[in-house]
Structure 1
Amino acid sequence: MKFGLKYIASVIAISGSLFAYAAHAELAPTKLETPSQVIASQVVSFKQDAQLIRDTYEPQLYTLPAFKMGHYGLRMYRQTLDPKYQSAIWADMARVASKLNTVAYEMNTPEQIATYSQKRLDEYVGDKDERSQRRYAATKKMPEYIYLGVGLLGSMARANEYGLQHKEDLKLREIIRRYDFKKYATDTEMIHAWAAQLANQVYWLRQLGEQDVVDDFIVAFKQAYPDSLDSTLTDQQYMNKIYGMTHIIFAASEYYQHPIKESDFQWIYDYYRKNVDTILKRSKEDVLAEVGINFLLAGQDDDPVVLAMRKAIQSSINKEKGMVPSVDGDFGLVHGEHRNVLAIMLLDWQQPHVAPTVNNQPKIFSSVPYGLVAKGNLN
């Protein structure tokens, strides 16, 4: 991690944000440390707390479901290139292969897609939380989105990142081409329900060389969430907005593989800096960590927002349990995996790596699950 004059000069500037977070978290504000103390002690303590969370998760990593195991292992591998995460990556490949096999061979007709999507959508019926109600209301008019966006695209994009594709890649692409994704990506209600997911999906489509609706989505996103109306948003909707912004950055980096040029997303970084107090007050730890990581992807390690987010996350760690609990005080490893792997990355950031890929890490792909082949190796 690099610390320049900008970092030292900016420490005092974040004091208001840190005190705001302390008040929000019902913590007694403490005296802000001097720049030398921050450099000498805080960085060490951030890394120590990241290791504390690792020590909680990694002995039990292979007890987690495949999706969670892969989520953790892939992110840690892209940070460290440590081969100890290879088995988790293979489990993720197996999950991807299973999903694409199902789509290719068992569930691809319009009737099958409609039945599957409606069944998944019906799972939201009866849920009382705002997010679920918004997702049901928005998606019931276009239920196929559940199949296309939430299922198929993510698996195809992950295989693509590995340097793989499904044996029936052309068939899968034909399914995508039946639908105009712009309809989902520019619908205000859909953005209010699925902002982060849509951000991922429009970039996945671009990555796959299919429909490119990234710019359309960003225009629609700004219209759905004008900054002037922030004060009218519920906390759930405010977090949905910030989640959407963080995932635009993540998806553009192909999930921690490529650095980001801040000027390409200046409107997002300017918003974070201007509204850091509000973000700290109104957001869960997952969101706070993602905001900080957005800056790290842009090489802005010494931006005051990063330190503010790190201190906020650090203060939320339960040292006895060795993890960041949920806002409700839950310490479940499965449900907490997302926020805790983000906390590790924020507190002990390494650097982006384009990995793992068939070409760069061939040992990981010496045996791939059925259905997946190296890109370009279709029969």
Structure 2
Amino acid sequence: MIRYPFLKEGATIGVTAPSSGVPEDLHKLVEDACHRVKSMGYHVLCGNTVWTQNKVRSSSARFRADEFNTMMQDETIHLIFPPWGGELLIEMLEYIDFDNIQNKWIVGYSDISLLLLAITLKTGMATAHGTNFVDLRGDYSDETTLMWRSVLSTKKGGSILQHSSKNYQKEWQYDKPSPYVFHLNEPTHWNTVSNQSVKIQGRLLGGCMDSIRHIIGTPYGDVAAFRKNHLYNEPVIWFLENCEMLTTELRRTLVQMKLAGWFDQCSGIVFGRNPASTSVNGYTVEEVYDELAEELRIPIIYDIDCGHLPPQITFINGAYAEIETSDGKGTVLQHFR
């Protein structure tokens, strides 16, 4: 059984930084995002960790966890939305009060996906892999990004359909601010290993491989127990994305996930666009996907709207999904059951 939070109108959003905080010279990004989100009708409460950054952390692991636990247990806060990712969220996992996780959405990606996956695996509560809070600061939102509100406002028992984007952002252009935040100027094209139309069904799990691989073999990454206790042996669809790993490191990570049993009872894998796709001695990302599909005998879709080359479809860890792609376009239908 999966527990699904629900985002109501006028909800209060708690912004806390369980990984990296925001340095002083970038505080305006948070301020602009707060202003924009308030204009949508929400209330916003920022924690202390949002405004501090020492080297690669917003604060100590214990302080980050304490602030997160406080927001999680505060009944006046209905959604937890970190400003962005970072590098060392894993340090604070051991201090999270998993026994008192309340039924509220947590949203983010990159290093935040480690927190999302750990909470879903440990508690059976759905979590939302989607846009960063600071990326909501624009005067406008593209259609794909804007779906976060509709997805999180889907009631238990309901369904929500999302479509592949028309264009994506290939690189950040910080010197050329956009009212949409992103510069969506590259045509989106979902690809498959088989070069044919694909449909996959199953329960969603996933995140940024750079981060989530580090809970393999720990109490926070027990996928087998999650399948047994919450999915009743339903198949899993993994949605995965790579931020910085070279092709060979990506291959090692996927083999490790396979050996750890994470791909047992897997009906398919979808990979986000890869910003670190440089080949190593001619060994390409596409070859990694080909090899994995052959080994697991499952369909693989890649270059989907997920990860560090926005925009992002909002994927719900724990939701039952039907993912289809044909002629470079795709849909994600999620059922909150």
TM-score category by the smaller chain?
under 0.3
Q: Which structure dedicates a bigger proportion of its chain to strand?
A: 2
**Larger relative CO (CA 8 A, sep 6+): 1 or 2?**
1
Q: TM-score, normalising length from structure 1? A: 0.26
Q: Which structure dedicates a bigger proportion of its chain to helix?
A: 1
Structure of higher CA gyration radius: 1
Q: TM-score, normalising length from structure 2? A: 0.28
